[in-house]
Structure 1
Amino acid sequence: MSFFAPVFASIDLDLILIAVLIMFIAGFVKGAVGFALPMVAISGIGSLMPAAIAVAAIMLPAALTNLWQALRDGPRAALGSLMAFRWYVLLIVCVMGMVAPLVSILSTEMLFIVLGGGVTFFAVLQLAGWRPGPELGKTRIATIISGVTAGVFGGLAAVTGPAVVLYLLAREVPKVEQVRLQGVIFLLGLLVVITVHGRTGVLNELTLPLSVMLIVPAIAGMGAGLLVQDRLEQETFRKATLVVLVVAGLNLLRRGLMG
């Protein structure tokens, strides 16, 4: 219990229990649609705690659930997906590593405004009927724009999902491979971000135990969500991802504008 003592000494028990529930819900959403654990978790936990603490708290749950997602079909399948999109993945990971230090500099309000505005913008475009075709999705400029955007948002709060999902939808990647590739991208990016935050101090004696504490509810929620994902049709899957983006994005934006 001494490992978790800083958490219980600094954060009310009621807030910890709410954070556990939020992480379970975030894990469920990730299991169902293949992404969005960071968005849902930051949207909820960030309403209870400062942004830097919320960002740090999701690091380990996100990394382990992404490991599960990436390797669900075996290491060979994960490696195949990685090699097929290796330059795209490398671009995202490099940008995430460069942007991650800004978390310790930006204010809570600015962090949420940037995240919420970007997430909402992407989702509303899609729900309004705009969807890049496969011809555009396969261009080099689309790969660069998506990779840089995903890296920026991923570096700020592990929210790599929106740009990656829209890019893979444009490329018409099949659902199973899309989910697997998302897990690979998110995992590699998070490993870089965790390393950076270990040096910046965002991961510290308070946030590291909190992050460990949230691993179990995240994995439990993801397990429940996977049962739903396996029953989703491709179009239903696409619409579900966009609905999740809108809800999470608007809440992040509200948090940033209203405090």
Structure 2
Amino acid sequence: MSLFTDILPLGLILFACGVTLLGGFVKGAVGFAMPLIMISGMGILIDPKLVVAGIIFPIVVSNGWQVLHAGLGQAREAVRDHWRYVLVVCVMILISAQFLTLIPTRVMFFILGVPVVVLCAIQLLGWRPRIPAQRRRVFEWGAGFAAGTLGGLAGTWGPPTVLYLLALNTPRARQMAVQGVIYGAGSVMLLLGHLQSGVMNAQTWPLSALLVPPALAGMWLGFKLGDRFDQNRFRRMTLLVLIIAGANLIRRGVMG
């Protein structure tokens, strides 16, 4: 345990595990939001750069599970249909991750909090962009650029990906498979990017590894119990809580 308490006090480690368990449960139940929950929840008490390091292993492993859960056949079709978006997301995650260590802590709270509030509010309000078929390629590059940049800096590219798939009017079952591929590929790039940036290092990887079991336990519970919930109501409640947590991160950026 001393390996972990060298990074954080025991109380904060238990807090991080609890937040991760909740994030895994929501991901298993409704298929999204684990990084957002971990960032906005852990960021209340823990240094934001350490939070970004902490989420890396859990999202790599959980997204791999999501890909397998959707089926490898579906994954191959998703890569074939959305390879441009996947490519630019992965490249931008690798590039933008290198700038994380240069950003002051107060600015990091804004980088983490503002996207959480804006992207959750967009989903809560039900706004759905519409992209004509002839402009799909331009939209793929642009949306992928934005999602990958946010992913490298804040560890989350899920909400922009959801908006991208909604804009293409992707059927829900298909959307879950595509999300699994995009999240899985992006999470591997996030790991590689932050190994290069130094955010994931000998001091931070033990915390990230420690958070894998609660993430998987939460996902397992979400898979088992998710069908018992009113999915729309549960999703709305999750988004509202995330907006409140994101607003608190912004407050910390303003007040220090």
TM-score (norm 2): 0.88
Aligned to 2:56: 59
Aligned to 2:209: 212
Cα deviations by residue, 1:11-54 (Å, 9 ceiling, x for unpaired):
21111111110100111111122122111101121222211111
Cα deviations by residue, 1:79-126 (Å, 9 ceiling, x for unpaired):
111211111111111111110011111122212212322332233344
Q: Residues 21 and 217 of structure 2 are in contact (CA less than 8 Å); yes or no, is this contact kept in structure 1?
A: yes
Q: 1:42 aligns with which of 39, 42, 45?
A: 39
2: CA distance, partners of 1:146 / 1:21 = 32
Q: Residues 137 and 170 of structure 1 are in contact (CA less than 8 Å); yes or no, is this contact kept in structure 2?
A: no
1:156 aligns with 2:153: yes
2: CA distance, partners of 1:238 / 1:171 = 21
Aligned to 1:254: 251
Cα deviations by residue, 1:194-234 (Å, 9 ceiling, x for unpaired):
11222222112221111111100000111112234446788
Aligned to 2:19: 22
1:222 aligns with 2:226: no
More displaced stretch, 221-230 vs 233-242: 233-242
Q: Residues 70 and 176 of structure 2 are in contact (CA less than 8 Å); yes or no, is this contact kept in structure 1?
A: no
2: CA distance, partners of 1:129 / 1:19 = 31
Cα pair distance change 1:129/1:56, threshold 3 Å:
closer
Secondary structure at the aligned position of 2:200 is classed as coil
1:70 aligns with 2:60: no
| Number of residue pairs aligned between Structure 1 and Structure 2 | 256
Q: 1:80 aligns with which of 77, 80, 90?
A: 77
Give percent identity, aligned residues only: 40
Q: 1:103 aligns with which of 87, 100, 103?
A: 100
Secondary structure at the aligned position of 1:141 is classed as helix
Aligned to 1:180: 177
Q: Which amino acid aligns with 1:73?
A: A
Q: Residues 58 and 215 of structure 2 are in contact (CA less than 8 Å); yes or no, is this contact kept in structure 1?
A: yes
1: CA distance, partners of 2:212 / 2:218 = 10
2: CA distance, partners of 1:35 / 1:61 = 13
2: CA distance, partners of 1:232 / 1:133 = 30
Cα deviations by residue, 1:46-84 (Å, 9 ceiling, x for unpaired):
222211111011100110000011111322221111211
2: CA distance, partners of 1:197 / 1:161 = 18
2: CA distance, partners of 1:240 / 1:62 = 22
Q: 2:191 aligns with which of 191, 194, 207?
A: 194
Q: Which amino acid aligns with 1:105?
A: L
Aligned to 1:120: 117
Q: Which amino acid aligns with 1:213?
A: L
Q: Which amino acid aligns with 2:29?
A: A
1: CA distance, partners of 2:171 / 2:191 = 30
TM-fit CA distance, 1:139: 2.7
Q: Residues 164 and 182 of structure 1 are in contact (CA less than 8 Å); yes or no, is this contact kept in structure 2?
A: yes
Q: Which structure 2 residue ranges, 5 or more long, are not aligned?
A: none
Q: Residues 61 and 218 of structure 1 are in contact (CA less than 8 Å); yes or no, is this contact kept in structure 2?
A: yes
Secondary structure at the aligned position of 2:98 is classed as helix
TM-score (norm 1): 0.87
- Indicate the RMSD between aligned Cα atoms, in angstroms: 2.5
Q: Which structure 1 residue ranges, 5 or more long, are not aligned?
A: none
Q: Residues 137 and 171 of structure 1 are in contact (CA less than 8 Å); yes or no, is this contact kept in structure 2?
A: no
